[in-house]
Amino acid sequence: MRIAMIGTGYVGLVSGVCFSDFGHDVICVDKNPAKIEMLERGEVPIYEPGLDTLMEKNVEAGRLTFTTDLAAAVDGADAVFIAVGTPTRRGDGHADLTFVMAAAEEIAKSLTGYAVIVVKSTVPVGTNRKVKQTVAKANPNADFDVASNPEFLREGAAIDDFMKPDRVIVGVQTERAGEVMAEIYRPLYLREFPIVTTDLESAEMIKYAANAFLATKITFINEIARLCEKVGADVKEVSRGMGLDGRIGNKFLHAGPGYGGSCFPKDTMALARTGQDFSAPMDIVETVIKSNDEIKRRMIDKILELCGDTFNGKTVAVLGVTFKPNTDDMRDAPALTVVPALVGGGAKVRVVDPQGRREGEALLPGVQWVEDPYKAVQNADALVILTEWNEFRALDLKRLARRMATPRMADLRNVYSAKDAKHAGFEAYMAVGRPSLEPQARAAEEEANTASAAE
């Protein structure tokens, strides 16, 4: 099959590269000449493990090319995928479809034969029908169908998700479009991965419903974590006990500083707005959005308490600022709420992140970027773990504590424990929904130990 992929952002580039690895001829299109030149040099503009190697392989095989010429890419294509951004529209929270509709109109003018126009961007219910109307209006003689094919790629594991998906969702209106999509995904059919073929509206809704449910699950365990702190329970044990129930499962039950990234924040907002438009309020989703914002702000309070109720004049080392590990994506990351509060409060902030600096330098002004966690904590007053990169999961806590002016840790991803911190010499440790080590308790314990030794 010949495929044109419009947009070389996260979804478009990963999808285009993986389709080419299926054996299809793929042309990736982007209006940004600098980006296309970068790709043609073999450089990947995003961080996704394994993507550079897979891209190089398929470029060398002649199955994958890049261009700024949309008309040339669409000419003769069996399927044209729209994979452009749908950011939250300013002012009302709806998904901004400007790029989608602009792409649809340009595609329409470039069609030379039958093609399936596939919307891979995350779009509200009814968008595919609007795309169809836009194409028909721009080119009344166009021979085409539309299809909805939402993506379910986890940043940091996108290639594996594409090649070994839990399911592929395809929304179509005609048998002909269904046959084209079946041929495109033939390698997955042969390996018996689930392919769900449905109508346009259901396909669009599946994407939003799935993301909203996962965001709800994250928010639920974060609220449980808050209660655990009040009653003395351990949210890790609670999560484990819940997750062993097959009806619940253990994924997305990890307490932390709230969800972020390119999908959950904008998709929950868009679903809530759609519910309002159709007089079917998404009360749970609206509460999730509100609660997630509050969770991020509560993390600031935790760090403030750790720092003695003031950031002014304090040095704080922050480990991780991307919204999750194995990505360079900073969109709606908790760090964008937490770090500015530290800087604004007068703290000197040192940041360590394996991939976050490229985006983070512009988004987090006023911080010092450091390559090594042990250098970052030198004479620091507090250590904050915001993203659970593997590099931060096996740190020498004793070494960290020795280097700090006041060894105090806010472990907002529950990587360690109060017992670990205490053994390493930390005088204070705060987690999310787990037992903490309070400075006063540590001091009292040391005083008791001294008295006991004297006796």
Q: What is the pLDDT of residues 433-444, one digit of tens each?
A: 999 998 765 555
Q: What is the pLDDT at residue 452?
A: 57
292 and 158 share one domain: no
From first CA to last CA, the distance across the chain in angstroms is 84
According to the model, what pLDDT value does residue 441 have?
A: 53
State mean pLDDT over 208-221.
97
- For residues 147 and 259, state if they share a domain: no
pLDDT score of 445: 56
Q: Same domain, yes or no, for 193 and 151?
A: yes
Give the integer Cα–Cα distance in Å for 212 and 214: 6
Domain limits for position 304 = 212-455
Listed residues 198, 232, 258: the one ending a domain? 198
278 is in an annotated binding site: no
The catalytically annotated residue of 18, 28, 228, 263 is 263
Q: Which two tokens stand for residue 280?
A: 């079917």
Q: Which pLDDT score, from 0 to 100, does residue 91 have? A: 74
Q: How many domains does the chain have?
A: 2
Residues 226, 123 within the same domain: no
Average pLDDT over residues 254-273: 94
| Residue with the larger pLDDT of the pair 139 and 92 | 139
Q: How confident is the model at residue 286 (pLDDT cuts 50, 70, 90)?
A: very high
In a domain, 425, yes or no: yes
**Rounded Cα gap, residues 361 and 347, in angstroms:** 17
- Annotated binding-site residue? 86: yes
Strand (E) or helix (H) holding 35:
helix 33-40
250 domain residue, yes or no: yes
13 domain-assigned: yes
| Residue 423 counted as an annotated binding residue | no
Instruction: Give the model's confidence band at 270: pLDDT under 50 very low, under 70 low, under 90 confident, else very high.
Output: very high
Residue at 203 is within a domain: no
Does 275 count as an annotated binding residue?
A: no
In CATH, what number is assigned to the domain containing residue 290?
3.40.50.720
Torsion of CA 417, 422, 425, 427, to 10 degrees: 100
Region for residue 359 given its phi and psi (left: phi exceeds 0; alpha: psi -120 to 50; beta: otherwise)? alpha
Residues 99 and 161 in one domain: yes
Does the global pTM surpass 0.85?
yes
Split at pLDDT 50, 70, 90, the class of 446 is low
Per-residue pLDDT reduced to its tens digit, 92-131: 788 899 999 999 999 999 999 999 999 999 999 999 999 9
Residue 413 domain-assigned (yes or no) = yes
Residues 81 and 220 placed together within one structural domain of the fold: no
Give residue 451's pLDDT. Answer: 56
> Is the domain of 272 the same as that of 335?
yes
Query: Within this chain, do residues 62 and 161 fall inside the same structural domain, yes or no?
Result: yes
* Strand residue runs (E) in 11-78: 25-29, 64-67
Residue 205 belongs to some domain of the structure = no
Q: Is 42 annotated as a binding residue?
A: no
* Exposure string over 243-253, b if 16+ CB within 10 A, otherwise e: beeeeeeeebb
**Whether residue 272 sits in one domain with residue 186:** no
Question: Are 188 and 227 found together in one domain?
Answer: no
170 within 8 A of 203, measured Cβ to Cβ: yes
Provide CB contacts within 8 A for 360, sequence distance 6+: 321, 322, 330, 335, 351, 353, 367, 369
Asked if residue 258 and residue 188 are part of one domain, the reply reads: no
Q: Is it the case that residue 260 has pLDDT exceeding 90?
A: yes
24 is in an annotated binding site: no
Contact 325, 157 (CB under 8 A): no
Give a yes or no: residue 204 inside a domain: no
Q: Is 324 annotated as a binding residue?
A: yes
Q: For 341-369, how does the pLDDT look when each residue is reduced to its tens digit (9 = 90+)?
A: 999 999 999 999 999 999 999 999 999 99
Query: Which tops the pLDDT comparison, 446 or 142?
Result: 142
The CA distance from 29 to 17, in Å, is: 12
Band (pLDDT 50/70/90 cuts) for residue 262 is: confident
High-pLDDT (> 90) share of the chain, %: 93
Query: Could you confirm whether 307 is annotated as catalytic?
Result: no
Among 148, 168, 198, the domain boundary falls at 198
Distance from C-alpha of 402 to C-alpha of 446, rounded to nearest angstrom: 17
Integer Cα distance of 176 and 58 in angstroms: 28
pLDDT at res. 439: 75
Q: Say whether 155 counts as a known binding-site residue.
A: yes
Do 84 and 125 lie in one domain? The reply is yes
Average pLDDT, the chain: 94
Indicate whether 278 pLDDT > 80: yes
- Assess contact for 393 and 330: CB atoms under 8 A: no
The whole-angstrom separation of Cα 158 and Cα 16 is: 12
Query: Binding site annotation covers 375?
Result: no
Query: Which residues are within 8 A (CB) of 313 and not within 5 positions of it... i.e. 6 or more apart?
Result: 346, 347
Residue 304 lies in a domain: yes
Q: What is the pLDDT of residue 354?
A: 95
- Among 198, 222, 249, give the residue marking a domain's end: 198
Q: Exposed (0-12), middle (13-18) or buried (19+): which is 9, by Cβ within 10 Å?
A: middle
